[in-house]
Structure 1
Amino acid sequence: MRIKSIEFSGYKSFPGDNEGSGSQTLKLAPLVLIFGKNNSGKSSTARLPRFLLGGMECSDGKVLPLEVRGLRYGAKFLDVVHGGAFYQKPFFRVQAENEDGFIDFSVKLYSEGVFSAEDAPLVWSYMMTAPKEVNIFSPETKVGFSGLLPPGNEWGDIRRAAGLVLDEMVHIGPIRKSINPSYSNLSFERIDFEGANVPQMLRADYRLADAVGRWYAEHMEGWRLSLQRDSESFSVRLTRGGINSNLAYGGEGLQQVLPVVAHQLWRQAGIPRYFLDVVEQPELHLHAAAQAPLADLFINTANLGSGCTIVETNSEPLLLRVQRRVAEGLIGPEKVSIYYIQANESGSELIPIELSADGEVAWWPAGVFEEDFSEVAAIRRAQRDKKSRSDSAIRNSSGSIERK
């Protein structure tokens, strides 16, 4: 299953009018960048596909489970409702492609009252146009739902497809676990939310460990990362020149970025298959000069065309590097979706930022990276003015010579 777009309203910080208008739309490209100020709804947006996939996989009466593969979205249904109001009716629409064709359904949920806040949500209305037409008004018909798909066993293939996407998903949270001074020789299973077991991942794959080590040497001021065996355990080391130190005692940025780097290089070396990954705040604790190379990692993964990586970030160097690579023709603008979340008194709004083929953004919110964007614009104006004056001087000089 390949999710193409998600439409939503009345979810978390995003308001809704219960009539389905004023909804937000998140279109998934191979690389999705989500920007916004603190507490604007960046994480809620980045985590939404996982939330809805959990509902699509669900086969019991929870309709929309509040815990999906260990990640909790709230203690009760009203925790995911805008303003926590029982009278709000969150709306979700999912458009996806499956092996058997297109999937397009929308659902509006509700709670029966403030005293039902602890109960699972109910379906207010439901409409599916593909793979077949389904139109249900639940309060009137009292239809019971198992997850976000209509009742009945015929939807098993879609449930399994949603589950497979969740099985494949790698979700790296905003704060990764610090590196330990040493690790036991345990087997590696998968990258977890905190990236805590990435050292075991590198130990199990020497080619990946070498690729990560080379990436560090190139982009982390010459510090090469490697593993060192210590009797019945091993440690993660940093070497440069004659210095050999334990990463556990190195800079926090060098530790925090390890799961992100390992994850991207692992994707690029893997078997091409659809994935939907989420990386939150990849730039955490990194100096600005070290943030731009992360963009190249994400771009290389996006160019594989196998899946989608959603990146929740506030890194200006990362954005500028993406713009530069688009301008250089190293990634097409159609492979990148950029969103800014604008928060105001009534709630948040998900605003798409159009990216042109020459790497320019059509719009950017005032006060966000404004100074640097203004400086770049001023530099370009000065360059054009300088060239114009130079061309004018050449024409005038040529005219004077001809008159003589």
Structure 2
Amino acid sequence: MTLVRLALQNYQCFAQRQEVEIRPITVVFGKNNSGKSALVRSPLVIATGMHGLSPVPLDLAELGEDAPDFIDLVHNRLDHGSVGIELEFREPIRCSWTIQNVIESQTQVVSRCRIDVRGESATFTWSDADDTDESEERPYYVSGPGKASDEPIGVRFSGLIPEHDFVRGREIKEAFGEIRHLGPFRTRPARLGRLTARRPAQDQFGSRTAEILIHDHVRSRGRLIGKINEYLGDHLPDWRLEVIPRYDAYAVGLKSLKARNLWVSAADSGTGVAQVLPILVQRAQDELDRPADDILEIVEEPELHMHPSAQAALADLYIRAVHKTRVRFLIETHSETFLLRLRRRVAEKRLRADELALYYVESDGEASTVQRVNVDEAGNVYDWPDEIFAENFEEVRAMTEAQTERLDTDAR
């Protein structure tokens, strides 16, 4: 099953309900501090209520040391505020929640939950007037297939999922699936690394990249490295990725195919190479060992520190991934080149228009909105926002005006 639609209300910078359709490649763009990161990271926040066993709706501590407090998720950080979340899956399954902050007891409660599974609906409405018990069960008016409670009954929530006969909790959790996240600042590989007993799992900083490559070199005869070098062939044709032994450790670097004995440690390579390596590693892993289940991968600024030609190549890499694996992508970008390549591939029929969704996030200083930018089968876009990626035109116009003024001055 697959998540196909996400909606948020009163969530961080989004005061009004904002909806995003999740397609194989969903791209979010906009100016700095407009709310792009809040939008693309929201599935990570929701996942803390889907896969955890906490009695609170969102177990934000799962997000790590820098996790937000719930009040940070509420628009304008209101003490008694709430957030709204809606999810739709392909089956079809639809779920919606209103999560209320209860400042007096320093906790949060699902104040309303509605779950629709193949035409059958269940609704849970919190009765706060009767909520005086300190137990994990709370009073709810419950309605389900052919039944409705006249009085509140005790219901325990496991994260966002009510434990009740009306609800197929396991099915909803499986439908939500796995969420991955690669942040905007990837860790530069260390100069030396050691072989691990098991293949390391990547993190949001790409900090395990060298360990993964070392493990592949020793345990899998460079199978992964070979696939990465296939990716690099068109863009670094004079170099190949290599792992070499160094004393009691290993080093990851680039070997020149032209200059004899020239080898550059990944720690000393260009910043763009260090930033893209975690992306290439994950793409190669998924292509060689296809995931059995659907995965939504969140990637922030994949183009960071990369030349425009390489930014376009990244777009092709993601297109290849959606056609060869069960991974879909929610991408935040500042790259016009990245977007242009996606549109070009639609026009060339290498990517279907219905496999791509573009969203523009805009802030008026008080709240943000999400605007869909439609792409047709020819790669044309409609409802394109004003002043986005218009900087080149403005610079050329200003330069032309300056040149004209200089010519007039010299002619006098």
* TM-score (ref. length: structure 2): 0.81
Distance 2:394 2:5 in 1: 33
Distance 1:69 1:345 in 2: 27
Report the counterpart of residue 10 of structure 1 in structure 2: 10
CA contact (8 A) 1:32 1:311 kept: yes
In structure 2, relative to structure 1, the CA distance for the partners of 1:373 and 1:337 (3 Å cut) is farther
124-133 vs 229-238, greater mean Cα deviation: 124-133
Query: Aligned AA for 2:157?
Result: F
CA contact (8 A) 1:7 1:25 kept: yes
Unaligned 5+ residue runs, structure 2?
A: 131-138, 141-155, 396-412
Report the counterpart of residue 148 of structure 1 in structure 2: 160
3-state SS, counterpart of residue 87 of structure 1: coil
Report the counterpart of residue 47 of structure 1 in structure 2: 41
Report the counterpart of residue 114 of structure 2 in structure 1: 127
Report the counterpart of residue 96 of structure 2 in structure 1: 106
3-state SS, counterpart of residue 257 of structure 1: helix
Given candidates 343, 349, 359, the residue that maps to 1:339 is 359
Report the counterpart of residue 207 of structure 2 in structure 1: 196
Report the counterpart of residue 396 of structure 1 in structure 2: none
- The alpha carbon displacement at 1:160 in A equals 5.1
Q: Percent identity?
A: 27
- The alpha carbon displacement at 1:371 in A equals 4.2
Asked whether 1:239 is paired with 2:255, we answer: yes
3-state SS, counterpart of residue 357 of structure 1: coil
3-state SS, counterpart of residue 184 of structure 1: coil
Asked whether 1:320 is paired with 2:340, we answer: yes
344-353 vs 331-340, greater mean Cα deviation: 344-353
3-state SS, counterpart of residue 218 of structure 1: coil
3-state SS, counterpart of residue 111 of structure 1: strand
Given candidates 170, 173, 183, the residue that maps to 1:157 is 170
CA contact (8 A) 2:9 2:17 kept: yes
Given candidates 229, 241, 245, the residue that maps to 1:213 is 229
Distance 1:185 1:85 in 2: 49
- The alpha carbon displacement at 1:251 in A equals 1.1
- The alpha carbon displacement at 1:192 in A equals 1.1
The number of aligned residues is 360
Asked whether 1:179 is paired with 2:195, we answer: no
CA contact (8 A) 1:56 1:162 kept: no
Deviations 1:167-206 (A, max 9, x none): xx43211111111111111232311111111222223241
Given candidates 118, 125, 131, the residue that maps to 1:137 is 125
Distance 2:160 2:248 in 1: 48
In structure 2, relative to structure 1, the CA distance for the partners of 1:360 and 1:318 (3 Å cut) is same
Asked whether 1:276 is paired with 2:310, we answer: no
- The alpha carbon displacement at 1:69 in A equals 5.6
Given candidates 36, 59, 80, the residue that maps to 2:30 is 36
RMSD across aligned positions (CA): 2.4
In structure 2, relative to structure 1, the CA distance for the partners of 1:95 and 1:61 (3 Å cut) is same
154-163 vs 103-112, greater mean Cα deviation: 154-163
Report the counterpart of residue 387 of structure 1 in structure 2: none
121-130 vs 77-86, greater mean Cα deviation: 121-130
Asked whether 1:87 is paired with 2:74, we answer: no
Unaligned 5+ residue runs, structure 1?
A: 16-21, 376-404
Query: Aligned AA for 2:223?
Result: R
3-state SS, counterpart of residue 116 of structure 2: strand
Asked whether 1:264 is paired with 2:252, we answer: no
- The alpha carbon displacement at 1:54 in A equals 2.1
Distance 2:344 2:113 in 1: 43
In structure 2, relative to structure 1, the CA distance for the partners of 1:246 and 1:213 (3 Å cut) is same
In structure 2, relative to structure 1, the CA distance for the partners of 1:58 and 1:184 (3 Å cut) is closer
Query: Aligned AA for 2:347?
Result: A
- The alpha carbon displacement at 1:162 in A equals 6.0
- The alpha carbon displacement at 1:272 in A equals 4.8
Query: Aligned AA for 1:112?
Result: V
In structure 2, relative to structure 1, the CA distance for the partners of 1:245 and 1:160 (3 Å cut) is same
Structure in which a larger fraction of residues adopt helix: 1
In structure 2, relative to structure 1, the CA distance for the partners of 1:299 and 1:214 (3 Å cut) is same
Query: Aligned AA for 1:127?
Result: R
Query: Aligned AA for 2:290?
Result: I
Deviations 1:92-122 (A, max 9, x none): 111124xxx4321111121234x55xx2311
CA contact (8 A) 1:210 1:226 kept: no
